[in-house]
Amino acid sequence: MKKNRKRASCFLAIAALSISVLLTGCAGKQKEDKGDKLNVMTSFYPVYDFTLKVGGDKVNVKNMVPSGTEPHEWEPGTRDIASLEESNVFIYSGAGMEHWTEDVLKSLGNKNLIVVEASTGITLKEGHEEEGEAHKEEDKEHDHGEFDPHVWLDPQNAKKEMENIKEGLVKADPVNKDYYEANYKTYAEKFDKLDQSFRDTLHPLQNKSIVVSHEAYGYLCAAYGLTQVGIEGLTPDSEPDPARMAEVIDFVKENKVKTIFFEELVSPKVAEAIAKETGAKIQVLSPVEGLSDQEVKDGEDYFSVMEKNLVAIKDALE
């Protein structure tokens, strides 16, 4: 009697499982009607934003890294790869930011996919060697390689990325070439304006050192003559070593740094510990690697976030 009941419940469990698998399988197959627009997949936020701006209403853009997720940590899931198979264009920033692209692209069956590495043609900066070394042991998975991938933080580089994206879209959809060109032109002016306002605001300031939670701002600093002191190296989220923390604390005290910058998508614990020790305050400085849900709701984009960054840096250095 007991045995029978056991067998019955076992059977029921298996049946329930298989039915649910079948159901989800069916739901996944329903395709939405995409019309004759170009289907574009982008890796993470900045290239997504630039593609939206150039592509306008001629493209369907789908971003892979969801909002609120730190892209250094992220890897594509099976569904992302499936949608890559159905896309016309794939755009990524490159320079070692998306370590998974090579493997994923090799495994694709989609031979017509146009791949754009948006950072092509930008002079890359080498990553901080000392820090890079320490990271390699900690997290082999998100090894950045030898270059600093955060190119888009210099508006001129961002403009170059958008240009590369435009070229890619034109290649995939030559009919709408004029449309893409016109959009690019509009935003190219905006990038120049942003660049100019960074220059005008930061140039007169005496103080040039910012303390940041991870050294993502190399291109930004190089463009405007700033220096960054990073609590951690190029990748966020590894455990800091105490010697480095002591160094940063001494630096903050000696140079009377008012503000420790941290990133929204990374835990502020370490920045808080240093701020507490030195009496500095903590403040968000976005590396524009991704927006939070709230920022998406508020309609923020690359330009608005960079303008906020400018205000934050100005406050910290004045």
Site for another protein (CB under 8 A): which residue of 244, 258, 284, 312? 244
Asked if 249 touches another protein (CB under 8 A), the answer is: yes
Asked if 270 touches another protein (CB under 8 A), the answer is: yes
Q: Judged by CB, which is closer to another protein: 204, or 242? A: 242
Asked if 237 touches another protein (CB under 8 A), the answer is: yes
What lies within 8 Å, CB to CB, of 1 at 6+ separation is none
> Distance between CA 232 and CA 178 in Å, rounded?
44
Asked if 239 touches another protein (CB under 8 A), the answer is: yes
Q: Judged by CB, which is closer to another protein: 193, or 253? A: 253
Site for another protein (CB under 8 A): which residue of 86, 181, 241, 318? 241
Judged by CB under 8 A, which stretch of 31-39, 173-181, 204-212, 270-278 contacts another protein?
Answer: 270-278
Do the Cβ atoms of 212 and 285 come closer than 8 Å? Answer: yes
Q: Judged by CB, which is closer to another protein: 163, or 237? A: 237
Judged by CB under 8 A, which stretch of 18-26, 55-63, 266-274, 298-306 contacts another protein?
Answer: 266-274
Do the Cβ atoms of 122 and 149 come closer than 8 Å? Answer: no
Site for another protein (CB under 8 A): which residue of 86, 246, 298, 318? 246
Do the Cβ atoms of 184 and 155 come closer than 8 Å? Answer: no
Nearest approach in angstroms of CB 100 to another protein is: 17
Asked if 274 touches another protein (CB under 8 A), the answer is: yes
Site for another protein in 85-144 (CB under 8 A): 134, 138
Asked if 265 touches another protein (CB under 8 A), the answer is: yes
> Distance between CA 273 and CA 270 in Å, rounded?
5
Nearest approach in angstroms of CB 291 to another protein is: 12
Nearest approach in angstroms of CB 54 to another protein is: 29
Q: Judged by CB, which is closer to another protein: 57, or 254? A: 254
Q: Judged by CB, which is closer to another protein: 195, or 264? A: 264
Asked if 245 touches another protein (CB under 8 A), the answer is: yes
Asked if 243 touches another protein (CB under 8 A), the answer is: yes
Site for another protein in 55-74 (CB under 8 A): 68-70, 73
Chain residues in the site for another protein (CB under 8 A)? 68-70, 73, 134, 138, 237-246, 249, 263-270, 272-274, 276-277, 292-293
